[in-house]
């Protein structure tokens, strides 16, 4: 059911950045008049470097550059990560994810085909063109995390609120976590490190927001974009950082990925490219490559070049040993690196963690000695 026109207009007016701005400005008025340059101190950056946010699949699939893969009919976790932080750090973040597909030739409301790209709110319902549900196809499903009473009490703590559970930024002040779905295939998040200045500074790199998504049962390709602040669609709710000193808004470099919802390939197809066919990884015999995830490129420790489908002494075990680098210094090479096991088995290793050590890497490849996917 469509919202009435007045309700839609109100929802669009109260963007996440507006909420954050009102919180910060209210505090600034009380505590420091010098902080009130927040609304006028915007500065764009990262056109050719500098601060950057990116999308990735953090669970239930993997990414190879901008091409990402998840299983048709299954859940996966979409992540927004900080690739490069502002030089001065940041005290607030805002993200805006677009996982719908704009259909400009479609009909907006009762109007003729093509009305989705005419710049008008044809149905006078507060949603025009891409913001109207008639003008977008949404293949992927987003399941907002609800408030969770984690300790069995009758009171929901701030850290148990849905937005605070989805914003996984370590420095988040849970009371200052916000989430809003703006229209078909749009979701935004925003958060602060505190509620009173001086705001704690963050230099965190890595995932800051996680969204629980689902693929449809049939294989499809679906683009997902991270929209920046001042984007024509995202407007004031686009992705941004806010520096702790001066409350300067920094617009990061952002990008897009394509999620491929796929089914396992028949032998010898190898979706994750780890040297072991999907059919083998779905098997039960671990020595033949089984009990693995066909969408995890790190759980078959084949580091021969080219991959030969078997874990042996000369190519694989000695290959890892010869790149032993417990501090990440040379002769470190990410090709030979793995991260800790995600379970349930010791060979279910994860993406490189930046060091090649005894406990995870050398022991991990030795554990798989003799495993043969040929």
What is residue 267's predicted lDDT score, i.e. its pLDDT?
95
Could you tell me the fold of the domain covering 5-100+138-262? Answer: Immunoglobulin-like (2.60.40)
Model confidence over 304-336: pLDDT tens digits?
A: 999 999 999 999 999 999 999 999 999 999 999
Model confidence over 98-122: pLDDT tens digits?
A: 999 999 999 999 999 999 999 999 9
Model confidence over 59-98: pLDDT tens digits?
A: 999 999 999 999 999 999 999 999 999 999 999 999 999 9
How much is the pTM?
Answer: 0.85
Give residues with Cβ within 8 angstroms of 327, minimum separation 6. 355
Model confidence over 37-69: pLDDT tens digits?
A: 323 233 333 345 689 999 999 999 999 999 999
Q: Is the pLDDT of residue 31 over 70?
A: no
In three state form, how does the secondary structure of 238-267 look? CEEEECCCCCCEEECECCEEEEEEECCCCC
Model confidence over 331-359: pLDDT tens digits?
A: 999 999 999 998 899 999 999 999 999 99
**In contact, 228 and 20? CB cutoff 8 Å:** no
Domain regions of the chain by residue span = 5-100+138-262, 266-374
Pairing verdict, β 141-142 and 177-183: unpaired
Higher local confidence (pLDDT), 233 or 43: 233
What is residue 154's predicted lDDT score, i.e. its pLDDT?
64
Cα four-point dihedral sign 38, 41, 47, 50:
negative
What is residue 277's predicted lDDT score, i.e. its pLDDT?
97
Q: Is the pLDDT of residue 144 over 50?
A: yes
What is residue 151's predicted lDDT score, i.e. its pLDDT?
64
Pairing verdict, β 249-251 and 42-44: parallel
What is residue 157's predicted lDDT score, i.e. its pLDDT?
84
Q: Is the pLDDT of residue 27 over 80?
A: no
The pair of structure tokens assigned to 252 is: 């990061």
Residue 311 phi/psi, 5-degree rounding, is -95, 110
CA–CA gap between residue 235 and residue 253 (Å, rounded): 16
CA–CA gap between residue 162 and residue 148 (Å, rounded): 7
């Amino acid at each position: 059911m469509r919202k009435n026109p007045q309700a839609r207009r109100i929802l669009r007016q109260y963007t996440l950045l507006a909420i954050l701005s009102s919180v910060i400005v209210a505090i600034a008025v009380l505590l420091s008049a010098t902080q009130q340059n927040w609304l006028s101190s915007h500065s764009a950056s990262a056109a050719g470097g500098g601060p950057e946010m990116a999308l990735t699949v953090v669970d239930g699939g993997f990414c190879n550059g901008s091409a990402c893969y998840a299983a048709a009919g299954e859940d996966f976790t979409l992540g927004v990560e900080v690739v490069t932080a502002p030089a001065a750090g940041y005290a607030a973040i805002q993200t805006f994810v677009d996982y719908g597909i704009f259909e400009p030739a479609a009909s907006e409301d009762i109007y003729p085909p093509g009305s989705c790209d005419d710049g008008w709110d044809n149905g006078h319902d507060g949603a025009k063109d891409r913001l109207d549900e008639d003008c977008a196809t949404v293949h992927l499903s987003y399941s907002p995390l609800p408030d969770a009473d984690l300790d069995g009490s009758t009171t929901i703590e701030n850290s148990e609120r849905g937005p605070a559970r989805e914003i996984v930024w370590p420095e988040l002040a849970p009371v200052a976590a916000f989430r809003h779905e703006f229209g078909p295939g749009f979701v935004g998040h925003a958060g602060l490190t505190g509620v009173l200045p001086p705001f704690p500074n963050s230099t965190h790199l890595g995932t800051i927001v996680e969204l629980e998504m689902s693929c449809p049962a049939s294989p499809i390709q679906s683009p997902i974009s991270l929209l920046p602040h001042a984007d024509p669609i995202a407007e004031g709710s686009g992705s941004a950082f806010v520096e702790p000193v001066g409350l300067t808004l920094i617009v990061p470099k952002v990008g897009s990925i394509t999620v491929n919802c796929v089914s396992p390939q028949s032998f010898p197809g190898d979706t994750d490219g780890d040297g072991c066919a999907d059919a083998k990884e779905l098997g039960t015999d671990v020595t033949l490559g089984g009990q693995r995830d066909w969408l995890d490129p790190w759980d078959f420790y084949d580091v021969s070049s080219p991959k030969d489908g078997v874990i042996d002494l000369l190519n694989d075990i000695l290959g890892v040993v010869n790149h032993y680098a417990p501090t990440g210094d040379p002769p470190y090479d990410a090709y030979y690196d793995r991260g800790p096991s995600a379970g349930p088995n010791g060979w279910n290793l994860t993406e490189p963690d930046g060091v090649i050590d005894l406990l995870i890497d050398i022991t991990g490849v030795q554990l798989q000695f003799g495993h043969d996917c040929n």
